[in-house]
Structure 1
Amino acid sequence: MSEELPRLDLLRFLERVQLQQLAQTRHWIHQEEQRQAERAARHPLPEPPAWIVEQGIGVGRRVVAVHQGWCRMSGKRTSPITRDEALRLLAEDPERACQQCRPDTDLGVL
């Protein structure tokens, strides 16, 4: 004759199994975080340029905006520029200054 385990014993068994699975998952997460940290240490991100220019589409690719290098509002068509070039572009047209990162303020153009 087989006796059935009480429901509470079954639930406690289930809990132990789930805790073991949770511990294993946390271990895997920890290992992956270590791998990513090691990769990041081997290949650090390059320092962003101090100033970038955003250009439009098409022939001539007119200057759309001047940004600080860290600005995330810049589009995909950007290239690094020197401080002098940023000053010149903003002197030609102050409206080119990005309204988020305000390169004109940092450059003292205001």
Structure 2
Amino acid sequence: MNESGGSRLALLRFLERVQERDLARTRKWIVDEERREAERRVGEERRPPTPEWLIERGLNRNNIVAVHTGECWDPGKRARPATRTQAVEALRHQVPACTKCRPDTALGIEV
């Protein structure tokens, strides 16, 4: 530190104030991150379980388009949870099995 810009003590006090503000800001960031983490954990706990099977319906809701496993990455927007029995019945009534997740193979059904 140079002697021409003010006393060393004044400069050190200034540095202290800057560091206190930085520390306060960092502590606020920590509190915010802890809150977000707690909210994420609560969200995961409240998330409903992934269904085992999905049935994808067409635009008119009466037309079944495909059967998927619950873990399929491409079920479509109109896919709804289904029971194993519903998935088996749909496949037996010639509803196509998804070509990506192959629910017919998972169910042990040959179509």
Q: What residue ranges of structure 1 are gaps of 5+ in the alignment?
A: 4-16
Cα distance in 2 for residues equivalent to 1:36 and 1:86: 38
Q: CA deviation at 1:81?
A: 1.3
Q: CA deviation at 1:97?
A: 0.8
Query: TM (normalized to structure 2)?
Result: 0.62
| 1:51 is aligned to 2:53 | yes
Cα distance in 2 for residues equivalent to 1:105 and 1:66: 12
Q: Percent identity?
A: 37
Q: CA deviation at 1:30?
A: 5.1
Paired residues, what number?
96
Partner of 1:80: 81
The structure-2 alpha-carbon separation of the partners of 1:86 and 1:36, relative to structure 1 and needing over 3 Å to count, comes to same
Q: Deviations over 1:43-87 (max 9, x none)?
A: 5311011111000002x5311111111223111212221111111
Partner of 1:98: 98
Query: TM (normalized to structure 1)?
Result: 0.63
Within a 5 Å distance, the mapping from 1:11-50 to structure 2 comes to 31-39=31-39, 40-41=41-42, 43-50=45-52
For 2:58, the aligned partner's letter is: G
For 2:66, the aligned partner's letter is: A
Q: What residue ranges of structure 2 are gaps of 5+ in the alignment?
A: 5-17
For 1:61, the aligned partner's letter is: N
| Higher Rg | 2
